[in-house]
Amino acid sequence: MKVSTIKNKILVLLVFMATFIAGYSDDIKVGMECGYAPFNWFQNDSKNGAVKVDGGYCGGYDVEIAKVIAKKLNKKLVVVKTKWDALLGPALTSGKVDLVIAGMSATPERRQSLKFSKPYYESDLVVVVKKNGKYANAKTINDFVGAKITGQLNTLHYDVIDQMKGVKKQTAMESFPAMIVALNSGKIDGYISERPGAMAAQFSNPNLKFISFDKKDGFKYDTEEVNVAVGMKLGNTELEEKVNKILDEDLTPKVRQQIMEKAIQNQPNETSRSFFGWVTFFVQNNWKTFLKGTAVTLFISVTGTIVGFFIGLVVALFRYSEAEIDGQTKKYKKGGLKILNRIFSIYIAVFRGTPMIVQSMVIYYGLSQVFNLNLSPLLAALFIVSINTGAYMSEIIRGGIDSIDTGQFEAAKAIGMTNFQLMKSIIFPQMFRNILPMIGNELIVNIKDTSVLNVISVTELFFISNSVAGTYSRYYEVFIITSVIYFFLTFTLSSILKQIEKRIDGPQNFEFLDDVNGEEK
């Protein structure tokens, strides 16, 4: 048998094995917010059966439902803490999660892009208000004239506000903890919720209450639009049938009600504390969580800045090489440099002209959905920050090269130095010192801009802070701590960079030396 034939068979076997391994997994990845009690919430330990997620643990009704489904499917449960907007489609269609169990209603709009199981909880819509507030005694949805009402973004909750006559519909909010904070601070007068979420809000916030309505006095909607179901990728009929069978046989209405009652009792409660009491509480109980978020933020920003510098250096040198084209340059080299320069110009324009938050969504979910390239959140974050920084660095470096007097270029060429020698020995040392403050500025910007990476579930400092704040609905105290950490990072790194600049510049105290004739210059 020929060697080439053996190689071909081995190659086919490897491809088959890789395909088989890639297509099979013992894990079932379930997406949820971990911020919508009693359905799901974030906590610091595994108490009451919470499941490990990046940065902490996730517990609640949805977690318990997911456990049963995973067990019956003979899969290991992996909970993926994900932003609500991503749960509405990108996370499933890109393969980042297999199921969405997040208190999500199967609305007609969502059914166009997702497949849903039978309901795993039946509910109705209520309004959450302050217990002693102006609208605490409302009986119908038309008793809220003049009230500032809101609901969660991209949900039926927000749409039904239009049925309330005379209300001031506020901008939709991203999460229920954020709405509880807004209600407690007087920014809004109420928000729309499903009954379990309202019960949980009232349980953990005694100063709140929810108002339910008779059928004739309440909101008009199809019950399917409020009954929550398990979401999965469109076309996955086999998985849908398995989940529905589990819901029918193992998660009967009685079992589900028992799970919900237990979840409401187990959810984290808000205790009455002063401002400094809350700050002390969060520092004492979550310092490891904050430390992890800080470490991830620092790692991504420093690594991204360093890699971005080298990307920018390569791009800037290629663009500089094209500027040096003359009549003696070979035609193929001239054409190649022009093509590269055009590509690099587009790269710079795109990544400088679009927000990093948009780039994150497109790269993280788009690469997986279109090219089946499934990057981890951390790897995707490093890639995004690096190429984004590279676009800015290329222009900074180009400006640094242009700032050097042209006479130095001409003198180097006059004594026979190559372009490499010129750049290495003369241009680069001066250019690096000139742009060092701007490199430091890029690093500081990256430390702050990593906060946008929370949209792809990177467990950086902002993501961690948001999770902690959402658990207790205490955003002000948590983000005061977060602000202090960000300031400490940026101030410390700025001070270090200033010291580096001084070391490069050398001593500033010097005196003129006497010339050979003893005369002072």
Residue pLDDT, tens place only, 466-499: 889 888 888 889 999 999 999 999 999 999 999 9
DSSP class of residue 426 equals I
Chain segment 228-245, per-residue pLDDT in tens: 999 999 989 999 999 999
Both 34 and 171 in one domain: the answer is no
Both 238 and 178 in one domain: the answer is no
pTM: predicted TM-score of the whole model, two decimal places: 0.79
Look at residue 25 in the predicted model and tell me its pLDDT. Answer: 64
Answer yes or no: is 5 within a domain.
no
Q: How far apart are CA 322 and CA 344, in angstroms?
A: 12
Answer yes or no: is 4 within a domain.
no
Answer yes or no: is 315 within a domain.
yes
Least confident of 373-377, 389-393, 445-449: 373-377
Listed residue (444, 447, 471) closest to 461, CA to CA: 447
Both 369 and 499 in one domain: the answer is yes
Both 482 and 386 in one domain: the answer is yes
Chain segment 200-231, per-residue pLDDT in tens: 888 878 899 999 999 899 999 988 888 999 99
Answer yes or no: is 1 within a domain.
no
φ, ψ at 407 (rounded to 5°):
-60, -30
Averaged pLDDT, 381-407: 93
Both 95 and 243 in one domain: the answer is yes
Answer yes or no: is 396 within a domain.
yes
Angle at 254 between CA 253 and CA 257, to 5 degrees: 85
CATH number of the domain that 373 lies in? 1.10.3720.10
Look up tokens 């788009």; give the residue. Answer: 366
Answer yes or no: is 18 within a domain.
no
Answer yes or no: is 82 within a domain.
yes
Both 79 and 149 in one domain: the answer is no
Look at residue 443 in the predicted model and tell me its pLDDT. Answer: 96
CATH number of the domain that 88 lies in? 3.40.190.10
Look at residue 107 in the predicted model and tell me its pLDDT. Answer: 85
SS3 letters across 166-218:
CCEECCCECCHHHHHHHHHCCCCCEEEEEHHHHHHHHHHCCCEEEECCCCCCC
**Residue 8 pLDDT greater than 60, yes or no:** no
Both 134 and 117 in one domain: the answer is no
* 345, 398 contact by CB (below 8 A): no
Both 193 and 102 in one domain: the answer is no
- Tell me the β-bridge partners of 148: 168
Look at residue 250 in the predicted model and tell me its pLDDT. Answer: 95
Beta-carbon count within 10 A of 314 CB: 15
Instruction: Give the domain range for residue 201.
Output: 125-221
Count Cβ atoms within 10 A of the Cβ of residue 17 and give its class: 0-12 exposed, 13-18 middle, 19 or more buried. Answer: exposed
Both 118 and 129 in one domain: the answer is no
**Residue 503 pLDDT greater than 70, yes or no:** yes
Max Cα–Cα distance, the chain, nearest Å = 108
Domain final residue, candidates 187, 205, 221: 221
Structure tokens at 343: 């590509």
Both 354 and 209 in one domain: the answer is no
Q: How far apart are CA 44 and CA 329, in angstroms?
A: 64
Q: Give how many domains the chain has, as a whole number.
A: 3
Structure tokens at 100: 């969405």
Both 193 and 238 in one domain: the answer is no
Answer yes or no: is 198 within a domain.
yes
Q: Tell me the one-letter amino acid at 518.
A: G
Both 33 and 111 in one domain: the answer is yes
